[in-house]
């Protein structure tokens, strides 16, 4: 830009610095709370309420692991992790299979009810979970799945509605991706004698792997974090999931704030690790689904 004189260039520089500082301030507000809760989960009792900003280095008196030992003693945290993992893994697996099938069928085939089914998928994203959960509970109660006190059945009673709740988002994301694939590849495989199902598993699935990864991550996180459905269906101690345990610890901890901090860290850390490893897939998938939905 040759018209630029010194004055406007320095103005540009100042505005750049201002942009960076505002962005940095917001970044600070998103990162610092997590940092703060992590350092305080290692702090000895009592000091949190007076001196929560310093770092409790391991060689000082402020450092302790007590909060974590108490968290493990007071609650069966491994059982909760196991329950959460079973629920989220089952939901994710089923959603990936069913949504993949449905998206493939919806994109590649032409049939009469196509438009209608597409609106069915879109509309179901609008239902808040509040509007379906009571009848689902009553239905599952009538089937003898919900509120039985048997752990596997109770987990199943959470898994089923969570699958339904995640399908539409996943179908929409996958449809967008499968539509962009060239159909010629599938046609040539067909000429080589592959059946439609073989084409799906041998060609479409491998090519669409990144978007399958995106919906899998999303479904998993959503299911892991979904307190409302879990609270509705899981009542007994040995059915508890990580999120529910957290909710319970918070109500029992009273003034033991170190314990609360440790509980938060125990839930957040697995997600943090997953996020750092997979953040590109996550952000891409979330916005893709949101804009098309």
Region 92-151 residues binding another protein, contact defined as CB under 8 A: 98-99, 101-102, 104-106, 108-111, 117, 120-121, 124, 126-139, 141, 147
Instruction: Name which of residues 67 to 96 contact another protein (CB under 8 A).
Output: none
* The 3-state secondary structure of 153-201, one letter per residue: HHHHHHHHHHHHHHHHHHHHHHHHHHHCCCHHHHHHHHHCCCCHHHHHH
Q: How many helices (H) and strands (E) does the chain have?
A: 13, 0
Cβ contacts of 43 within 8 Å, gap of 6 or more: 52, 56, 62, 63, 64, 258, 261
The site map against another protein for 158-177 (x = CB under 8 A) is: --xx-xxx-xx--x------
Binding footprint of another protein, residue count (CB under 8 A):
95
Residue among 78 and 110 whose Cβ is closer to another protein: 110
Describe the chain by its helix, strand, coil percentages, rounded to 5: 80, 0, 20
237, two tokens: 């101690």
> Alpha-carbon distance 129 to 117, whole Å?
21
> Alpha-carbon distance 237 to 62, whole Å?
33
> Alpha-carbon distance 92 to 217, whole Å?
8
Instruction: Name which of residues 18 to 57 contact another protein (CB under 8 A).
Output: 19-20, 22-23, 26-27, 29-31, 33-34, 36-37, 40, 48-50, 52-53
Shortest CB 274 distance to another protein, Å: 8
Q: Which of 186, 208, 216, 239 binds another protein (CB under 8 A)?
A: 186
Residue among 13 and 59 whose Cβ is closer to another protein: 13
Asked if residue 237 binds another protein (CB under 8 A), the reply is no
Asked if residue 234 binds another protein (CB under 8 A), the reply is no
Residue among 24 and 59 whose Cβ is closer to another protein: 24
Residue among 53 and 59 whose Cβ is closer to another protein: 53
Asked if residue 6 binds another protein (CB under 8 A), the reply is no
Shortest CB 202 distance to another protein, Å: 14
63, two tokens: 């450092």
> Alpha-carbon distance 134 to 153, whole Å?
18
Residue among 31 and 65 whose Cβ is closer to another protein: 31
> Alpha-carbon distance 40 to 63, whole Å?
9
- Residue 74 DSSP symbol: H
Residue among 21 and 59 whose Cβ is closer to another protein: 21
- Residue 238 DSSP symbol: G
Q: Which of 6, 59, 78, 197 binds another protein (CB under 8 A)?
A: 197
Asked if residue 267 binds another protein (CB under 8 A), the reply is yes
Stretch of 59-67, 69-77, 208-216, 253-261 lying at the interface with another protein (CB under 8 A): 253-261
**Residue 103 · residue 235 · CB < 8 Å:** no
Shortest CB 63 distance to another protein, Å: 19
Stretch of 54-62, 65-73, 156-164, 207-215 lying at the interface with another protein (CB under 8 A): 156-164
């Amino acid at each position: 830009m040759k018209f630029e004189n010194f004055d406007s260039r320095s103005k540009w520089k100042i505005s750049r610095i201002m942009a960076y500082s505002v962005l940095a301030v917001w970044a600070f507000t998103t990162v610092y709370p997590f940092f703060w809760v992590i350092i305080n989960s290692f702090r000895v009792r009592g000091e949190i309420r007076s001196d929560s900003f310093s770092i409790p280095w391991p060689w000082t008196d402020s450092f302790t692991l007590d909060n974590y030992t108490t968290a493990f003693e007071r609650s069966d945290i491994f059982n909760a992790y196991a329950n959460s993992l079973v629920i989220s893994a089952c939901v994710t697996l089923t959603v990936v299979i069913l949504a993949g099938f449905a998206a493939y069928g919806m994109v590649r085939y032409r049939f009469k009810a196509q438009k209608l089914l597409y609106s069915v998928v879109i509309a179901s994203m609008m239902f808040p979970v509040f509007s379906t959960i009571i009848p689902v509970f009553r239905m599952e109660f009538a089937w003898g799945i919900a509120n039985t006190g048997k752990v596997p059945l109770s987990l199943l009673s959470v898994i089923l509605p969570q699958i339904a709740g995640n399908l539409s988002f996943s179908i929409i994301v996958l449809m967008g991706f499968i539509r962009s694939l060239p159909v010629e590849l599938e046609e040539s495989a067909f000429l080589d004698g592959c059946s439609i199902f073989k084409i799906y598993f041998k060609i479409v699935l491998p090519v669409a792997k990144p978007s399958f990864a995106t919906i899998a991550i999303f479904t998993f996180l959503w299911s892991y974090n979904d307190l409302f459905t879990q609270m509705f269906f899981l009542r007994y101690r040995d059915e508890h999931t990580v999120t529910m345990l957290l909710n319970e610890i918070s109500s029992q901890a009273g003034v033991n704030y170190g314990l609360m901090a440790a509980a938060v860290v125990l839930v957040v850390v697995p997600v943090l690790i997953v996020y750092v490893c997979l953040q590109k897939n996550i952000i891409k998938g979330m916005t893709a689904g949101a804009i098309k939905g």
